Amino acid sequence: MTETGGTRRVIRAYLKSTAVSLRLWLRDRQSVFWTLAFPIIFAVSFTVIFARLPAEEHWRLILRVVAINMIAMGLFSLPTQLVTWRERGVLRRYLVTPLPPALLLLAEATAFCIVGGISLAVQLTVLLIVVAPSGPVHLPLAVLILGCGALTALALGLIIAATVPSAKLVPAVGQTLFLPMMFLSGATIPAEFLPSWLRQIGEYNPLGVMVRAAESVGEASPEMAEILLAAISLVVTAVLGLALAIGVFRWDPFTALRPSQWLTSAALIVGLLATPRVLKAVIAFTLLPTGTVYVHAGRLWDGTSEQLRSRVTIKIRAGRITDVVDGYEPPPAGATLVDARKLTVLPGLGDAHVHLTSGGLFFGGAFTTEPRKLVREHLKRYLRCGVTMVKSCGDAKNVVLSVRDSLRSGFLRGPAFVLVGPLFTAPGGHPAQFAVFMPDKREFVRELAAVAEVPEALADCLGEVDAIKAVYGGGIPPYFSYRRLEPEILRELIRQAHAAGLRISVHVDEPAELLAAAEMGADGIEHVPVTGAVPQAAWQTMVERSAVLIPTLAVYEGLMRMTEAERILEEPFVRETLSANEQEVLKQPFARFMGSLIPAQARAAMLAQAMANVRAAYQARVAIVAGSDAGNPGTFHGAALHRELRLLQEAGLPPIEVLKAATSRCADWLGLPAGRVQPGTMADLIAVDGNPLEDVQLLARLHWVMRLGRIEWQRNHEGTTAAPPRGQSAEPSDGG
Amino acid sequence: MTNAIEISGLTKRYGPVVAVHGLSLTVSCGETFGLLGPNGAGKTTTVECIEGVRRPDGGSIRVLGIDAVRYPQQVKARIGVQLQATSLPPLITPREALELFASFYPNHRPAASLLGWAGLAEQADRPYERLSGGQKQRLALALALVNDPELVILDEPTAGLDAHARNELHELIKQFRDEGRTVLLTTHYIEEAEKLCDRVAILHRGRLIACGHPAELIREVGAQHSVELTVRGPTVERLAIPEGCRLVVRSQPRADRLRLKLLTESLSRAITELVQQLPPGSEIESLHVRSATLEEAFLKLTDDINADRTAAETSSNAPVGQNRIPADTGTP
């Protein structure tokens, strides 16, 4: 018997076994019921029950239901059959043939995959006909993810089949595995209802990977890279699982696993469950920027100096600045050269106060069924506007956590990102009055009625958030009024946040509130009061305690300009970043109505008061950090920071102070190694034509934006800004 | 000519239990060889080691000249096996099963001819679960022949079958022998071994206690024929017991009737003497003669072993490949 003859025979035996298994499967009415009929009955009845959901939810509903079906099928169908066969001695018979026994398992798995594929196709077809979802349907991606997920479930099922001694135990063991995995995956209850430690465990759940990827497929414009990563990690998990199953498979009903084999299998299964997580980390590692980049900067402002430096080379390696030297040093072989000899290079800008889940049009984002997508779009706008670090200051925690995860893994490119998670406020306090717009209020706000509630509320955020934000404001009389947090609760919150090593900033409305918050030890004050002058003592307290002020003048001007859409559209970066639809909505009467809720005169007075307070704070040497409050009406992501910088300058800050507020000081406040052009910081740079130390409005003459050593946006060769269509505004150009 | 199977010093333990204890035996080519023994004697473990399904803890096995411990896959390609306690997927048909298993082997016989041979032509497309017990066993035999093997190993091929099905199967097994194949079968039906096997080996508690042609074994063990007769006549009580016979039962249900049960090593002598000594006027009412069987030899052997465990255990090496039996047997 020659080797090739042997190989050919093995292949022939594999094909024959697969064909026979497939035929037997289709011949068995019970198998056909559980793999073809039941999933369809389940899926159709399930989707019909939920058909009242808005039509744009239907596609996601279909994906979720089919995911449940595929998981259940993979975990139970074939494993039950194999264990039954082993009990009856069917599998033993193969042991006395010259074939490697694994071949039979592979053939069975292949046949089952064909059945599963048919089932998947039928389920999707029937559901698409019955439910008829509106919006784009990404069928190939859906098949990819659901198929890979089912494969992983099958591999897990085969491990059960490999070790479980009797068919009666398959449902018991399978359900013990299946139910927690199901709950943790988010297929049945949304993951955000789970406590954070359970969600962390859920990270080690291949089915969770599948369901999250399926949810992503359900979005109008799915994030390809993440879906592909999910598919790859599912396939790798499935292959490892299958190998493990073959390795420990018992063929003989009469031999039991030894305790040592049990322990090894258990350890391997635990390792297997971590596969997607490990793989993600490995791929994220490979996605880290590695190359060497030299930037020849005609002029450089390093984020702190009073002066510009001329003719320097900024050396970048693996996304970090390694050196800044005088003169134009030629790049070594293999390195990339960025020629900015005619430009001024400075650190990427930062916005310390944004709300990414809304877009600047009456909390429009809160209505979206795809908050992640909205956030991704907003992050692209920041890069487009030269903003390379942002702090989410009040967004649905589950959404921003997952976005931060994507950013860290390198699959999503955007600014450096820190977040505060839910806002701590009084029951019915700001922003709980907008609860109707929040898909899940608990993710946005934590309403505290007693000091005793602080530890639990805080504990739910620890380990997840980068900082804490509390609201200590009672509104802006006579226009808004809401409940203010009890002072002792705020004090306790500040004490416990500090004990946990987190910075806490406090939203204030009135001067007295600012004073109180500063005295209680707030690390930062969000919003400068607009109703009156802040007492000098408050500024003194802030200076003594090194607290920062994030004035958010931009949001006050945004509110003022809501009645004058054209003025907003003429601001730098607004037309470049807003979609045509958003620009239209801005011009509609409703926007004017929203804007005119407060009389024009009052709005102007408020802005003037805010500017005066900022001037006073600056004169009192309070550290000011740039933050726009973008996401509020009339205040658009990215563009709003440039408005904020202009307003700070108009308030009386010299340009260099304004720039520090948006670079080095902002990075310090956010706790990021950024905002300075010096060795060790992230290679987040922008280049502008002109000297912004003379006028910060020159930042509008942006030429390119670099994040972690990679050019994310650059002005095209004709010297005009590229105006890419919506959704691609921050795509890096090819030039790199 | 090489032997089909050569086993030497085979030992297999399951934890503390020694299933096979230093077993050595040889099966010649073309021979039909039976492994006999009560349940737990180590028969199945022995054949599973030969088949390459189990790895022995000690000793060597050569099957068709191949080292079965080192190259089990090569052995599996050339032998045909019918396992004890095995089954097929419930919905597979005999034809599908034969075609499927044929694809596993380099040489294989066409399904149609095997179906005809096993008498399953009519049931060729009936699902396995709807076959009778005998049909299932015949299919198992056909599967054992699917690769046209030189050696066929049958583990309890007729267990649980009725007499008719068993006879059908015996005919098929005889055909193997007639085709020149070597057959190794295990059974606990002694008459089956007597009927089919050229040689048998008797296993007890993992050791070989006897090995040889069935008739030789019977003779060596000194098993006896039994004679039962009832005589009617006026003076039946005067009937003398022939020499060399042992009286087991003697009863006189009525004055003119005598019932005797005798054991003898020589049937002809016992019968002749009984007839010659019949008192005048008496008549034989009934006469039943039963020849000594392998079963009696077997029971005698195993009883002796059980009765004298210590003796068996001190003479740690079981008899090898010869018609020896423990020394303390043979005296009735």
DSSP of A85-129, one letter per residue? HHHTTHHHHHHTSSS-HHHHHHHHHHHHHHHHHHHHHHHHHHHHH
Q: In the numeric block, which tokens belong to residue A40?
A: 């369809």
What is the 3-class SS of A247-271, one letter each residue? HHCCCCCCCCCCHHHHHHHHHHHHH
Residue A431: cis peptide before it, omega within 30 degrees of 0? yes
The pLDDT of residue A122 is 92
B146 min Cα distance to partner chain A (Å): 11
Cβ-based burial of A134 (10 A; exposed 0-12, middle 13-18, buried ≥19): exposed
Chain A contact present for B96, CB below 8 A: yes
Start-to-end C-alpha separation, chain A: 59
Instruction: Quickly count: other Cβ atoms within 10 Å of residue A455's Cβ.
Output: 12
Which range has highest mean pLDDT (A632-641, A723-732, B219-228)? A632-641
Q: Is residue B22 a contact partner of residue B188, using CB atoms and an 8 Å limit?
A: no
Alpha-carbon distance of A265 to A238, in angstroms, equals 15
Q: Which helix (H) or strand (E) holds A185?
A: helix A169-185
- Kindly state the average pLDDT of the residues A475-497: 92
Collect all residues from A whose CB is shorter than 8 A from any CB in B.
1, 5, 9, 12-13, 16-17, 20, 23-24, 27-28, 85, 88-90, 92-93, 95-99, 252
Alpha-carbon distance of A275 to A280, in angstroms, equals 8
Mean per-residue pLDDT of chain B: 82
Q: In the numeric block, which tokens belong to residue A56?
A: 């744009």
B74 min Cα distance to partner chain A (Å): 7
Alpha-carbon distance of B322 to B317, in angstroms, equals 13
Q: List the single residue in B87, B101, B127 with the smallest CB-CB distance to A89.
A: B87
pLDDT at A498 over 80: yes
Q: List the single residue in A1, A12, A24 with the smallest CB-CB distance to B89.
A: A24
Confidence of residue A638 (pLDDT cuts 50, 70, 90): very high
pLDDT in tens, B236-281: 888 888 877 778 788 887 888 888 888 887 778 888 888 888 888 8
Q: State phi, psi for A131 to the nearest 5 degrees.
A: -90, -30
pLDDT at A494 over 80: yes
A154 min Cα distance to partner chain B (Å): 20
Alpha-carbon distance of A242 to A158, in angstroms, equals 7
Domain ranges of chain B: 3-220, 224-290
The pLDDT of residue B222 is 66
The pLDDT of residue A727 is 35
Q: Which helix (H) or strand (E) holds A400?
A: helix A397-409
Number of H helices, E strands in chain B: 11, 14
Alpha-carbon distance of A708 to A389, in angstroms, equals 11
Alpha-carbon distance of A242 to A685, in angstroms, equals 47
How much of chain B exceeds pLDDT 90, in percent?
A: 30
Q: Is residue A215 a contact partner of residue A204, using CB atoms and an 8 Å limit?
A: no
Cβ-based burial of A435 (10 A; exposed 0-12, middle 13-18, buried ≥19): middle
Q: CB A24 to CB B92 under 8 A? A: yes
User: What residues have CB less than 8 Å from A112, skipping those under 6 apart?
Assistant: A21, A25, A77, A78, A154
B101 min Cα distance to partner chain A (Å): 8
Q: Which of A252-266, B167-181, B198-212 has the lowest mean pLDDT?
A: A252-266
Minimum CA–CA partner of B76 in chain A: A98
Most A-contacting residue of B64, B79, B87, B130 (CB-CB within 10 A), to test interface: B87
Instruction: Quickly count: other Cβ atoms within 10 Å of residue A624's Cβ.
Output: 24
**CA-wise closest residue to B294 among B185, B192, B206, B186:** B192
Q: List the single residue in B51, B73, B85 with the smallest CB-CB distance to A89.
A: B85
Q: Strand B79-82 and strand B151-155: pairing? A: parallel
The pLDDT of residue A192 is 58
Q: List the single residue in A27, A95, A97 with the smallest CB-CB distance to B101.
A: A97
Q: Spell out which residues of chain B touch residue A13, defining contact as CB-CB under 8 Å.
A: 103-104
Alpha-carbon distance of B104 to A100, in angstroms, equals 10
Q: List the single residue in B87, B100, B127 with the smallest CB-CB distance to A90.
A: B87
How much of chain B exceeds pLDDT 70, in percent?
A: 88
Q: Which of A300-309, A655-664, B177-186, B308-317 has the lowest mean pLDDT?
A: B308-317
The pLDDT of residue A185 is 75
Instruction: Quickly count: other Cβ atoms within 10 Å of residue A343's Cβ.
Output: 23
The pLDDT of residue A606 is 92
**CA-wise closest residue to A575 among A384, A312, A326:** A384
pLDDT at A395 over 70: yes
Q: State phi, psi for A54 to the nearest 5 degrees.
A: -55, 150
The pLDDT of residue A261 is 73
Q: Which helix (H) or strand (E) holds B142?
A: helix B133-144
Chain A contact present for B52, CB below 8 A: yes
Minimum CA–CA partner of B104 in chain A: A13
Q: Is residue A532 a contact partner of residue A510, using CB atoms and an 8 Å limit?
A: yes
Exposed e or buried b per residue across B316-327, where buried means at least 16 C-beta atoms within 10 angstroms of its C-beta: eebbeeeeebbe
B208 min Cα distance to partner chain A (Å): 25
Give the three-state DSSP class for B4. coil
Alpha-carbon distance of B133 to B116, in angstroms, equals 18
- Kindly state the average pLDDT of the residues B170-186: 89
Alpha-carbon distance of B21 to B26, in angstroms, equals 16
Alpha-carbon distance of B63 to B10, in angstroms, equals 13
- What superfamily would CATH give domain B3-220? P-loop containing nucleotide triphosphate hydrolases (3.40.50.300)
- Kindly state the average pLDDT of the residues A393-404: 88
- Kindly state the average pLDDT of the residues A438-462: 87
Of the CA atoms within 13 Å of residue A716, those in its CB half-sphere come to: 11
- Kindly state the average pLDDT of the residues A442-458: 91
Q: Spell out which residues of chain A touch residue B92, defining contact as CB-CB under 8 Å.
A: 20, 24
Q: Which of A212-216, A386-390, B256-260 has the lowest mean pLDDT?
A: A212-216
Chain A contact present for B37, CB below 8 A: no
The pLDDT of residue A605 is 92
Most A-contacting residue of B49, B53, B66, B100 (CB-CB within 10 A), to test interface: B100
Q: Would you state the torsion angle of the CA atoms of residues B307, B312, B313, B314, taken in this order, to the nearest 10 degrees? A: 120
Chain A contact present for B89, CB below 8 A: yes
Q: CB B103 to CB A13 under 8 A? A: yes
**CA-wise closest residue to A412 among A383, A452, A370:** A383
Q: State phi, psi for A36 to the nearest 5 degrees.
A: -115, -50
The pLDDT of residue A258 is 72
Q: In the numeric block, which tokens belong to residue B54?
A: 């189990």
pLDDT at A200 over 90: no
Alpha-carbon distance of A61 to A225, in angstroms, equals 22
Give the three-state DSSP class for A305. coil
Minimum CA–CA partner of B91 in chain A: A24
Chain A contact present for B105, CB below 8 A: yes
Most A-contacting residue of B13, B84, B91 (CB-CB within 10 A), to test interface: B91
**CA-wise closest residue to A577 among A588, A568, A587:** A568
Residue A478: cis peptide before it, omega within 30 degrees of 0? yes
pLDDT in tens, A86-131: 888 888 888 888 888 888 889 999 999 999 999 999 999 998 888 8
Q: Is residue B193 a contact partner of residue B291, using CB atoms and an 8 Å limit?
A: no
Q: Tell me which residue has tokens 């135990």.
A: A169
The pLDDT of residue B321 is 37
Alpha-carbon distance of B248 to B225, in angstroms, equals 12
The pLDDT of residue B316 is 41
Give just the sign of the alpha carbon dihedral B294, B297, B301, B303: positive
Alpha-carbon distance of A627 to A528, in angstroms, equals 11
Q: Spell out which residues of chain B touch residue A20, defining contact as CB-CB under 8 Å.
A: 92, 96, 99-100
Give the three-state DSSP class for A307. coil
**Distance, C-alpha A355 to centroid of its chain:** 13
Q: State phi, psi for A707 to the nearest 5 degrees.
A: -130, 125
Alpha-carbon distance of A133 to A425, in angstroms, equals 39
pLDDT at A677 over 80: yes
**CA-wise closest residue to A53 among A222, A181, A218, A193:** A218
Count the residues in chain A: 736
**Comparing B322 with A451, which gets the higher pLDDT?**
A451
Equal CATH topology for B3-220 and B224-290:
no
Q: How many pairs of residues across A and B have Cβ atoms under 8 Å apart?
A: 64
Confidence of residue A297 (pLDDT cuts 50, 70, 90): very high
Q: Which of A194-203, A228-237, A302-311, B59-68 has the lowest mean pLDDT?
A: A194-203
Number of H helices, E strands in chain A: 29, 17
Q: Is residue A647 a contact partner of residue A570, using CB atoms and an 8 Å limit?
A: no
User: What residues have CB less than 8 Å from A9, skipping those under 6 apart?
Assistant: B103, B104, B105, B106
Minimum CA–CA partner of A26 in chain B: B91
Q: CB B103 to CB A12 under 8 A? A: yes
Alpha-carbon distance of B21 to B16, in angstroms, equals 12
ipTM greater than 0.90 = no
Give the three-state DSSP class for B5. strand
Start-to-end C-alpha separation, chain B: 41
- Kindly state the average pLDDT of the residues A328-342: 93
Alpha-carbon distance of B39 to A667, in angstroms, equals 82
Q: In the numeric block, which tokens belong to residue A568?
A: 């907003």
Q: CB A92 to CB B83 under 8 A? A: yes
pLDDT at A535 over 90: yes
The pLDDT of residue B2 is 75
B210 min Cα distance to partner chain A (Å): 28
Domain B224-290 bears CATH identifier 1.10.520: no
Alpha-carbon distance of B173 to B156, in angstroms, equals 12
Instruction: Quickly count: other Cβ atoms within 10 Å of residue B181's Cβ.
Output: 21
Residue A436 DSSP symbol:
G
- Kindly state the average pLDDT of the residues A430-457: 84
